[in-house]
Amino acid sequence: MTQARLDPSRIRAITLDLDDTLWPVWPTIEGAEAALRAWLDAHAPRTGALARDAQTARSARQAALAARPAIAHDLGAQRREAIRELLRLAGDDTALAEPAFEVFYAERQRVVLYDDALPALAWLSARFPVVALTNGNADVHQVGIGRFFHDAINPVRAGVGKPHARMFEAGAEAAGVPAHQVLHIGDDAQLDGAGALAVGMQMAWVNRAEAPWPDHIDERPQLTVSSLDVLCQHLDADTHQP
């Protein structure tokens, strides 16, 4: 494995992952799924019963993706079409897929930020253009943090997801700088780390779980931190070095 030291003089912009970097994603998804099931129970109870069976729900998503492979990069479309498939299987009105998905999507925006997220966003956005780079379907404006972001890139907009190079190149383009002048911040070694490093970005790995860097990724992040406040402290210290 190779590792280079972080060069703060190169940083002109930040790309930033959302899920599991700014908030824990699975409690959010579980809350959204619970809201969806409650809505289905009230409006399409046979579908609600099917949605509670994990295997049936998984099969519905697989069937929806097989029927529409073009939505492979669009998690929202996958969810909507999986709901439609469950409605069809249950014999309910498939037009209910749209309002049902809206219930899920609205709840998916109700995140609980890590304690270090807002201070870090304020610190970073005061110094750099910050572009959200996410494979998920959280909307920074609906979440309530849009004021910190210069732009936001997701797979629907880019046509691909992380770790594809085009996703990271789109983030750099949105920030108005070449990729080598971007620091990408994220929690996933493969999706965030391997992808960012492959296009020449520097990478800060937010490793809250203190996991080892995967052996199969030859290049290592320039910076590994346990939290976003440690990241900001490190950047601040590097900036003020003589």
Amino acid at 201: M
If asked whether residues 104 and 73 sit together in one domain, one would say yes
Percent of the chain with pLDDT over 70: 97
Cα separation of 17 and 11, whole Å? 17
If asked whether residues 207 and 173 sit together in one domain, one would say yes
If asked whether residues 51 and 63 sit together in one domain, one would say yes
Give me the pLDDT at residue 118, please: 98
- Whole-structure pTM over 0.75, yes or no? yes
CATH at residue 200: 3.40.50.1000
If asked whether residues 66 and 44 sit together in one domain, one would say yes
If asked whether residues 161 and 131 sit together in one domain, one would say yes
In a domain, 231, yes or no: yes
The 3-state DSSP class for residue 24 equals coil
Give me the pLDDT at residue 165, please: 98
If asked whether residues 81 and 152 sit together in one domain, one would say no
Amino acid at 90: A
Q: What is the DSSP letter of 227?
A: S
Strand order in the sheet with 223-225: 151-153, 130-133, 13-16, 182-186, 202-206, 223-225
The 3-state DSSP class for residue 133 equals strand
Cα–Cα distances in angstroms (integers) from residue 226 to residues 76, 188, 197, 207, 209, in the given order: 30, 13, 19, 5, 8
pLDDT in tens, 8-51: 999 999 999 999 999 999 999 999 999 999 999 999 999 999 99
Mean pLDDT (whole number) for 201-213: 96
The 3-state DSSP class for residue 14 equals strand
Q: What is the DSSP letter of 190?
A: I
pLDDT in tens, 169-189: 999 999 999 999 999 999 999
If asked whether residues 16 and 44 sit together in one domain, one would say no
Identify the residue whose tokens are 């320039």.
222
Q: How many other β-carbons are positioned within 10 Å of the β-carbon of residue 182?
A: 29
Is the model's pLDDT at 93 over the cut of 90?
A: yes
Is the model's pLDDT at 238 over the cut of 70?
A: no
pLDDT in tens, 124-178: 999 999 999 999 999 999 999 999 999 999 999 999 999 999 999 999 999 999 9
Structural domain range at position 91: 26-108
pLDDT band at 2, cuts 50/70/90?
low
CATH at residue 64: 1.20.120.1600
Give me the pLDDT at residue 4, please: 75
Q: What is the largest CA-CA distance in the chain?
A: 70
Give me the pLDDT at residue 242, please: 44
- Out of 42-51, 69-78, 203-212, pick the least confident: 69-78
